[in-house]
Protein backbone atom coordinates (compact mmCIF):
# COMPACT_ATOMS: atom_id res chain seq x y z
CA UNK A 1 0.00 0.00 0.00
CA UNK A 2 2.78 2.35 0.96
CA UNK A 3 4.65 1.48 -2.25
CA UNK A 4 1.57 2.25 -4.36
CA UNK A 5 1.19 5.67 -2.75
CA UNK A 6 4.83 6.49 -3.52
CA UNK A 7 4.41 5.45 -7.17
CA UNK A 8 1.24 7.51 -7.55
CA UNK A 9 2.94 10.52 -5.97
CA UNK A 10 5.91 10.23 -8.35
CA UNK A 11 3.59 9.97 -11.37
CA UNK A 12 1.62 13.03 -10.28
CA UNK A 13 4.84 14.99 -9.76
CA UNK A 14 6.04 14.01 -13.23
CA UNK A 15 2.76 15.12 -14.77
CA UNK A 16 3.01 18.43 -12.91
CA UNK A 17 6.58 19.01 -14.14
CA UNK A 18 5.60 18.21 -17.75
CA UNK A 19 2.60 20.54 -17.54
CA UNK A 20 4.69 23.40 -16.17
CA UNK A 21 7.39 22.82 -18.78
CA UNK A 22 4.88 22.98 -21.62
CA UNK A 23 3.41 26.19 -20.21
CA UNK A 24 6.83 27.84 -19.98
CA UNK A 25 7.91 26.67 -23.42
CA UNK A 26 4.69 27.61 -25.13
CA UNK A 27 5.80 31.20 -25.62
CA UNK A 28 9.20 30.19 -26.97
CA UNK A 29 8.22 27.49 -29.43
CA UNK A 30 6.04 28.35 -32.45
CA UNK A 31 2.85 26.32 -32.06
CA UNK A 32 0.19 26.37 -34.78
CA UNK A 33 -0.80 29.49 -36.73
CA UNK A 34 -1.57 32.08 -34.08
CA UNK A 35 -2.41 35.75 -34.62
CA UNK A 36 -2.99 38.11 -31.69
CA UNK A 37 -6.00 40.44 -31.69
CA UNK A 38 -5.68 43.55 -29.52
CA UNK A 39 -8.79 45.69 -29.11
CA UNK A 40 -8.39 49.42 -28.44
CA UNK A 41 -11.85 50.82 -27.81
CA UNK A 42 -13.14 54.09 -26.40
CA UNK A 43 -11.19 57.20 -25.35
CA UNK A 44 -7.45 56.73 -24.87
CA UNK A 45 -6.91 57.73 -21.25
CA UNK A 46 -4.11 55.37 -20.26
CA UNK A 47 -1.53 53.33 -22.18
CA UNK A 48 -0.24 50.83 -19.63
CA UNK A 49 -2.53 47.85 -20.31
CA UNK A 50 -2.45 48.22 -24.10
CA UNK A 51 1.33 48.61 -24.27
CA UNK A 52 1.82 45.63 -21.97
CA UNK A 53 -0.53 43.49 -24.06
CA UNK A 54 1.33 44.42 -27.26
CA UNK A 55 4.67 43.64 -25.56
CA UNK A 56 3.47 40.20 -24.46
CA UNK A 57 2.39 39.29 -27.98
CA UNK A 58 5.64 40.65 -29.42
CA UNK A 59 7.72 38.46 -27.08
CA UNK A 60 5.53 35.40 -27.68
CA UNK A 61 7.21 33.36 -30.46
CA UNK A 62 4.01 31.43 -31.09
CA UNK A 63 2.33 34.67 -32.24
CA UNK A 64 3.15 35.33 -35.88
CA UNK A 65 1.41 38.72 -36.23
CA UNK A 66 -0.64 41.27 -34.30
CA UNK A 67 -3.94 42.84 -35.36
CA UNK A 68 -4.99 46.07 -33.66
CA UNK A 69 -8.74 46.58 -33.78
CA UNK A 70 -9.13 50.31 -33.20
CA UNK A 71 -12.47 51.91 -32.42
CA UNK A 72 -11.48 55.14 -30.70
CA UNK A 73 -11.89 58.91 -31.15
CA UNK A 74 -8.47 59.41 -29.56
CA UNK A 75 -7.73 60.96 -26.19
CA UNK A 76 -4.80 62.17 -24.13
CA UNK A 77 -1.56 63.00 -25.94
CA UNK A 78 1.01 61.15 -23.81
CA UNK A 79 -0.82 57.77 -23.73
CA UNK A 80 -1.36 58.00 -27.51
CA UNK A 81 2.36 58.63 -28.01
CA UNK A 82 3.28 55.72 -25.72
CA UNK A 83 1.00 53.34 -27.61
CA UNK A 84 2.46 54.64 -30.89
CA UNK A 85 5.95 53.72 -29.68
CA UNK A 86 4.70 50.30 -28.55
CA UNK A 87 3.19 49.63 -31.97
CA UNK A 88 6.36 50.87 -33.67
CA UNK A 89 8.54 48.48 -31.66
CA UNK A 90 6.16 45.58 -32.30
CA UNK A 91 6.19 46.31 -36.05
CA UNK A 92 9.99 46.06 -36.03
CA UNK A 93 9.71 42.49 -34.70
CA UNK A 94 6.66 41.08 -36.49
CA UNK A 95 3.80 42.08 -38.76
CA UNK A 96 1.28 44.52 -37.27
CA UNK A 97 -2.00 45.18 -39.08
CA UNK A 98 -4.66 47.71 -38.05
CA UNK A 99 -8.37 47.10 -38.54
CA UNK A 100 -10.45 50.25 -38.07
CA UNK A 101 -13.98 50.07 -36.71
CA UNK A 102 -16.55 52.88 -36.63
CA UNK A 103 -13.99 55.52 -35.72
CA UNK A 104 -10.21 55.73 -35.54
CA UNK A 105 -9.66 59.46 -35.46
CA UNK A 106 -7.06 61.82 -33.98
CA UNK A 107 -5.23 59.77 -31.32
CA UNK A 108 -7.06 56.72 -32.69
CA UNK A 109 -5.31 57.31 -36.00
CA UNK A 110 -2.02 58.35 -34.36
CA UNK A 111 -1.57 54.91 -32.77
CA UNK A 112 -2.35 53.20 -36.10
CA UNK A 113 0.26 55.06 -38.15
CA UNK A 114 3.33 52.82 -37.45
CA UNK A 115 1.55 49.58 -38.42
CA UNK A 116 2.62 47.64 -41.50
CA UNK A 117 -0.87 47.89 -42.96
CA UNK A 118 -4.05 49.82 -42.16
CA UNK A 119 -7.43 48.44 -43.24
CA UNK A 120 -10.55 50.56 -42.74
CA UNK A 121 -14.21 50.11 -43.49
CA UNK A 122 -15.41 52.42 -46.28
CA UNK A 123 -17.47 54.39 -43.76
CA UNK A 124 -14.91 54.48 -40.94
CA UNK A 125 -14.34 58.00 -39.57
CA UNK A 126 -10.61 58.63 -39.41
CA UNK A 127 -8.00 61.35 -39.79
CA UNK A 128 -8.62 64.39 -37.55
CA UNK A 129 -4.89 65.07 -37.38
CA UNK A 130 -4.90 67.92 -34.92
CA UNK A 131 -4.63 68.90 -31.28
CA UNK A 132 -7.24 70.48 -29.03
CA UNK A 133 -7.28 72.16 -25.63
CA UNK A 134 -10.57 73.20 -24.06
CA UNK A 135 -10.53 75.80 -21.28
CA UNK A 136 -13.88 76.80 -19.76
CA UNK A 137 -14.36 80.35 -18.46
CA UNK A 138 -16.72 80.80 -15.52
CA UNK A 139 -15.73 84.39 -14.70
CA UNK A 140 -19.21 85.71 -15.62
CA UNK A 141 -20.93 83.17 -13.41
CA UNK A 142 -18.61 83.91 -10.48
CA UNK A 143 -19.34 87.64 -10.79
CA UNK A 144 -23.08 87.01 -10.99
CA UNK A 145 -23.20 84.98 -7.78
CA UNK A 146 -20.73 87.27 -5.99
CA UNK A 147 -17.76 84.95 -5.63
CA UNK A 148 -14.17 85.95 -6.35
CA UNK A 149 -10.81 84.20 -6.06
CA UNK A 150 -7.49 85.39 -4.72
CA UNK A 151 -4.36 83.96 -6.36
CA UNK A 152 -0.89 83.93 -4.83
CA UNK A 153 1.76 82.84 -7.29
CA UNK A 154 5.51 82.83 -7.77
CA UNK A 155 5.48 83.39 -11.53
CA UNK A 156 3.23 85.54 -13.69
CA UNK A 157 2.15 82.57 -15.81
CA UNK A 158 1.63 80.11 -12.94
CA UNK A 159 -2.17 80.45 -13.16
CA UNK A 160 -2.20 80.44 -16.94
CA UNK A 161 -5.51 79.22 -18.39
CA UNK A 162 -7.36 79.73 -15.12
CA UNK A 163 -11.10 79.09 -15.43
CA UNK A 164 -11.81 82.05 -13.16
CA UNK A 165 -10.71 84.80 -15.56
CA UNK A 166 -10.33 85.62 -19.22
CA UNK A 167 -7.17 84.53 -20.96
CA UNK A 168 -4.66 87.25 -21.76
CA UNK A 169 -3.14 87.80 -25.20
CA UNK A 170 0.33 86.70 -24.06
CA UNK A 171 -1.07 83.58 -22.41
CA UNK A 172 -2.97 82.65 -25.56
CA UNK A 173 0.21 83.04 -27.62
CA UNK A 174 2.18 80.81 -25.21
CA UNK A 175 -0.47 78.09 -25.25
CA UNK A 176 -0.78 78.33 -29.03
CA UNK A 177 2.97 77.77 -29.23
CA UNK A 178 2.61 74.57 -27.19
CA UNK A 179 -0.29 73.43 -29.36
CA UNK A 180 1.63 74.10 -32.58
CA UNK A 181 4.61 72.13 -31.29
CA UNK A 182 2.49 69.11 -30.33
CA UNK A 183 0.63 69.35 -33.64
CA UNK A 184 3.96 69.24 -35.46
CA UNK A 185 4.87 66.12 -33.45
CA UNK A 186 1.61 64.54 -34.65
CA UNK A 187 2.36 65.41 -38.29
CA UNK A 188 5.91 64.03 -38.09
CA UNK A 189 4.67 60.83 -36.41
CA UNK A 190 2.10 60.21 -39.17
CA UNK A 191 4.64 60.98 -41.89
CA UNK A 192 7.20 58.60 -40.36
CA UNK A 193 4.67 55.83 -39.71
CA UNK A 194 3.08 56.02 -43.16
CA UNK A 195 6.35 56.77 -44.98
CA UNK A 196 4.98 60.02 -46.39
CA UNK A 197 6.57 63.43 -46.81
CA UNK A 198 5.95 65.78 -43.89
CA UNK A 199 4.88 68.50 -46.33
CA UNK A 200 2.27 66.19 -47.87
CA UNK A 201 0.79 65.29 -44.48
CA UNK A 202 0.70 68.93 -43.42
CA UNK A 203 -1.65 69.71 -46.34
CA UNK A 204 -4.55 67.85 -44.70
CA UNK A 205 -3.43 67.90 -41.05
CA UNK A 206 -5.91 70.60 -40.08
CA UNK A 207 -8.22 68.48 -37.95
CA UNK A 208 -10.49 67.42 -40.80
CA UNK A 209 -11.93 63.92 -40.77
CA UNK A 210 -12.11 61.45 -43.65
CA UNK A 211 -14.23 58.43 -44.47
CA UNK A 212 -12.30 55.22 -45.00
CA UNK A 213 -12.58 55.67 -48.76
CA UNK A 214 -11.31 59.26 -48.60
CA UNK A 215 -8.45 58.27 -46.29
CA UNK A 216 -7.34 55.66 -48.81
CA UNK A 217 -6.95 58.32 -51.51
CA UNK A 218 -4.75 60.31 -49.09
CA UNK A 219 -2.62 57.22 -48.39
CA UNK A 220 -3.65 57.25 -44.74
CA UNK A 221 -5.24 53.81 -45.27
CA UNK A 222 -3.93 50.92 -47.39
CA UNK A 223 -7.05 48.88 -48.05
CA UNK A 224 -10.78 48.83 -47.39
CA UNK A 225 -12.32 45.90 -45.57
CA UNK A 226 -13.79 44.44 -42.40
CA UNK A 227 -12.10 42.86 -39.40
CA UNK A 228 -12.54 39.48 -41.06
CA UNK A 229 -10.75 40.82 -44.15
CA UNK A 230 -7.95 42.10 -41.92
CA UNK A 231 -7.56 38.66 -40.34
CA UNK A 232 -7.31 36.97 -43.74
CA UNK A 233 -4.89 39.60 -45.06
CA UNK A 234 -2.69 39.22 -41.99
CA UNK A 235 -2.66 35.46 -42.40
CA UNK A 236 -1.51 35.90 -46.01
CA UNK A 237 1.24 38.33 -44.97
CA UNK A 238 2.78 35.79 -42.58
CA UNK A 239 2.19 32.71 -44.73
CA UNK A 240 -0.64 31.10 -42.78
CA UNK A 241 -2.91 28.92 -44.90
CA UNK A 242 -6.44 28.30 -43.78
CA UNK A 243 -8.14 29.79 -40.75
CA UNK A 244 -5.63 31.29 -38.28
CA UNK A 245 -5.93 30.79 -34.54
CA UNK A 246 -6.87 34.18 -33.04
CA UNK A 247 -5.50 34.91 -29.58
CA UNK A 248 -7.37 37.57 -27.64
CA UNK A 249 -7.44 38.69 -24.04
CA UNK A 250 -10.72 38.30 -22.21
CA UNK A 251 -12.89 41.41 -22.24
CA UNK A 252 -12.37 43.66 -19.25
CA UNK A 253 -15.44 43.59 -17.04
CA UNK A 254 -14.30 45.05 -13.73
CA UNK A 255 -15.98 48.24 -12.55
CA UNK A 256 -12.68 50.16 -12.54
CA UNK A 257 -11.85 49.14 -16.11
CA UNK A 258 -15.31 50.11 -17.32
CA UNK A 259 -15.03 53.49 -15.61
CA UNK A 260 -11.53 54.06 -17.01
CA UNK A 261 -12.43 53.24 -20.60
CA UNK A 262 -16.00 54.50 -20.87
CA UNK A 263 -16.40 57.27 -18.33
CA UNK A 264 -18.66 59.95 -19.85
CA UNK A 265 -16.82 63.05 -21.04
CA UNK A 266 -19.33 65.28 -19.25
CA UNK A 267 -18.32 63.77 -15.89
CA UNK A 268 -14.58 63.75 -16.50
CA UNK A 269 -14.70 67.46 -17.33
CA UNK A 270 -16.51 68.57 -14.16
CA UNK A 271 -13.14 69.44 -12.65
CA UNK A 272 -11.25 70.90 -15.62
CA UNK A 273 -7.50 70.63 -15.90
CA UNK A 274 -5.06 71.89 -18.49
CA UNK A 275 -5.00 68.98 -20.93
CA UNK A 276 -3.83 68.71 -24.52
CA UNK A 277 -5.69 66.02 -26.43
CA UNK A 278 -5.51 64.13 -29.69
CA UNK A 279 -9.30 63.88 -29.68
CA UNK A 280 -12.03 64.12 -32.30
CA UNK A 281 -14.99 65.90 -30.68
CA UNK A 282 -17.90 66.50 -33.06
* Active-site residue, selected from the candidate residues 47, 72, 99, 106: 106
Q: How many helices (DSSP H) and strands (DSSP E) are in the chain?
A: 11, 10
| Active site annotation includes 158 | yes
* Active-site residue, selected from the candidate residues 28, 158, 166, 252: 158
Sequence-distant (≥ 6) Cβ neighbours of residue 115 within 8 angstroms: 68, 87, 91, 96, 97, 98, 193
Strands 95-105 and 117-120: parallel
Please tell me the distance from the alpha carbon of residue 126 to that of residue 106, in angstroms, as a whole number. Answer: 7
Nearest alpha carbon to residue 133 among 71, 188, 84, 182: 182
| Active site annotation includes 195 | no
Please tell me the distance from the alpha carbon of residue 153 to that of residue 150, in angstroms, as a whole number. Answer: 10
Active site residues: 106, 158
Amino acid sequence: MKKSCIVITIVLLCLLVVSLSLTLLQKKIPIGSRIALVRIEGPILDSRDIVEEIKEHTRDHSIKAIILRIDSPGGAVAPSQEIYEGVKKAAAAKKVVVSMGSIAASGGYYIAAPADMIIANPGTLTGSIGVIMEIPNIEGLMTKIGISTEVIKSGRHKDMASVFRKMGIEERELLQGVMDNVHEQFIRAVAAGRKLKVEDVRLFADGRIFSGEQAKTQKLVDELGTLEDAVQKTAELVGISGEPDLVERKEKTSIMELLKNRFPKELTDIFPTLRIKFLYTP
